[in-house]
Amino acid sequence: MQRRQFLQAALAATSAAALAPQMSFADHHEGHAPFKISLAEWSLHKTLRDKSKNLTNLDFPRVTKEEFGIDAVEYVNQFFADKAKDAKYLAELNQRCDDAGVKSLLIMVDREGRLGDPDDAARTKAVENHYQWVDAAKTLGCHSIRVNAGSKGEYKEQQKLAADGLRRVSEYAKPMGLNVIVENHGGLSSNGAWLAGTIKQVGLDNCGTLPDFGNFKVSNDEMYDRYKGVEELMPYAKAVSAKAHDFDDEGNETATDYFKMMDIVLKHGYHGYVGIEYEGKVLGEYEGIKKTKALLEKVAAAVSAKSLKKAG
């Protein structure tokens, strides 16, 4: 009996080992995935702006779950710009998330002024404009607001100014347990070394980065290396944005090697949410989101298989 039990156990173990490398991303998703997938609302900006589609920010959580099978969302404040202090609206959005089984991660904040504005009064106004979004993020159960580090002037002067604005917003957010994270989003913020240096100057653990795979256009004459940039920003990352535009016949993004990029992300010990941000013009938004998700799942499955092989 002991020999038979041993053989049965050995056969089961062998079968499991043979199947393990073929396990899908979904099989690893609960507690074992190398990273999780969320959806950035900007991926649907055309649909949301098209009045004939009848899709609003309140519908975003449901659509994210029903259409794409994704259970975490990243809002863009442009789509509920006048609702930051609307308690009833935010309560409704929370209810929509609960109903759909969707988690709110962050709010991407735009059009509230430059946090590194050279004019002291304008910079202070920008800082104060962001407070309402910190409050809204807290109400929605988010972990962060994403901001921009816009400024003007020389390299070091822009760092000093942006660090000042970021520090003040971060100080406001800290008692609420919220992060203030900066995306590489044009200008010097798309220079990885500049942004990493700016975050270092802020010197607060709740001020970090949101590395975006594709936003590395510093100016019309300068493109920063995207892999170098993400490498420099990952030590401060509290979220990651998987930018996608076009895909080849094998489903790979044509401008970014997702396998190489995610290797950089994961080697820094990041295993949180990677937000899909589709901005392509060839595919429709829904198809583009699905293509990006499929690519991320392919990367995750490859990483999981590699880990299992090492463990074996």
Between CA 77 and CA 135 the distance in angstroms is 13
Tell how strand 273-278 and strand 207-210 pair up: unpaired
Amino acid identity of 4? R
Q: What is the mean pLDDT of residues 293-306?
A: 95
The yes or no reply on domain 32-311 and CATH 3.20.20.60 is no
The predicted model scores a pTM of 0.89
Residues 257, 26: contact at Cβ < 8 Å?
no
**DSSP code string of the chain:** -HHHHHHHHHHHHHHHHHHGGG--HHHHHTTT-SSEEEEEGGGGHHHHH-GGG---GGGHHHHHHHHH---EEEEEGGGGTT-TT-HHHHHHHHHHHHHHT-EEEEEE--SS--TB-SSHHHHHHHHHHHHHHHHHHHHHT-SEEEE---B-SSHHHHHHHHHHHHHHHHHHHGGGT-EEEEE--SGGGGSHHHHHHHHHHH--TTEEEE-BSS--EEETTEE--HHHHHHHHGGGBS-EEEEE--B-TTS-BSSS-HHHHHHHHHHTT--SEEEEEE--SSS-HHHHHHHHHHHHHHHHHHHHHHHHHHH-
Higher pLDDT, 7 or 109: 109
Domain segments of the chain as ranges: 32-311
Q: How confident is the model at residue 312 (pLDDT cuts 50, 70, 90)?
A: low
What confidence tens digit (pLDDT) does each residue in 52-67 have? 999 999 999 999 999 9
pLDDT of residue 13: 39
Q: How confident is the model at residue 20 (pLDDT cuts 50, 70, 90)?
A: very low
